[in-house]
Amino acid sequence: MIQEAYISGQLGKALYADNGRYFVLDIDDQAEPVECRPMDVSAFLNFGAELKTLPDSELNLVSLRSELATQRRANHALTLIVSGLDDDLDDETRASAIESAESLVEQDSVRRFVRARMLAKPLPAGTDIQTAVDIAIRTDATTLGILYQNILDYEEAIKLLNETWAEATADYFSSSERQVEAENKLTDLGAFAEMVTAVGTGNLKALNSVVVTYGQMPELNRVLGRATVILNDLKTRLTNKLVTTSSKPKKRDRQLRGEPDDVIESSKSVRDPKIENA
């Protein structure tokens, strides 16, 4: 019986424990999982790749293979999306990457994965986001175009969230390791992306919804310890900054139409009058 499992979509491998023995499952190898030594386990966990754990109820080889395949596709899509932003590549190469990513993000889980990460952190300086938007429009990559446009529109919101989180983490966690673990979990679950969307559109009711929805998640409580308290404090800090600056959110590019952001739809796009009337 499998007791625990770690999945790396970047490596295309899953590590799991079964009755005290460790095995590696390789997405590129259809053979049975291979038993590994303790030093192999340590190398896998310390490689630096993003790892995902599965709930106990999902721990079997069938679900492990399925989740590993999904994580592999999601990480490949993320790599292609980043390539679409790389101004060191020619437009033809970028267009090819964007078109390939567009086909991958048709899968809901892949789309959620890339959105959660692309809206959680500021882009590196010099990233060519506007050309990526233009290429996506030209190649009819609608979902990628909307994602790139969201990144562009919510640039200030992403910076604000990261600055606020950095200021507050000393009050939440006793070590940098716990801070990083919590940050990774909030990113992975999509909480940061939803907060960015709410802040970027001035939808403070949606910000409240994020606290309620994610504060109740057991997997987040296991990492944060008191998820609702921390998320509520983060929301309050963000709200205070928004009201103080009284900045209007950027308008979205009307050339790009597609499905609404889940966080906006769930709160019926009710905006805070303090922000809208500023």
Residue 57: predicted pLDDT: 59
Report the C-alpha gap between 184 and 39 in whole angstroms: 25
Residue 54's pLDDT band (cuts 50, 70, 90): low
Convert the pLDDT of each residue in 214-261 to its tens digit. Answer: 998 888 888 888 889 999 999 999 998 887 665 444 444 445 544 434
Report the C-alpha gap between 120 and 108 in whole angstroms: 18
Tokens representing residue 77 in the block: 């899509």
Q: In the 3-class helix/strand/coil scheme, how is 210-275 assigned residue by residue?
A: HHHHHHCCHHHHHHHCCHHHHHHHHHHHHHHHHHHHCCCCCCCCCCCCCCCCHHHHHCCCCCCHHH
Which of 191, 166, 172 has its CA nearest to residue 262?
Answer: 191
Q: Whose structure tokens read 């009755």? A: 19
In terms of pLDDT, which residue wins out, 8 or 278? 8
Which of 199, 213, 205, 207 has its CA nearest to residue 271?
Answer: 205
- State phi, psi for 15 to the nearest 5 degrees: -115, 130
Convert the pLDDT of each residue in 56-74 to its tens digit. Answer: 656 788 888 888 889 999 9
Q: Where are the domains of the chain?
A: 2-69, 72-154, 156-276
Confidence check: pLDDT of 117 > 60: yes
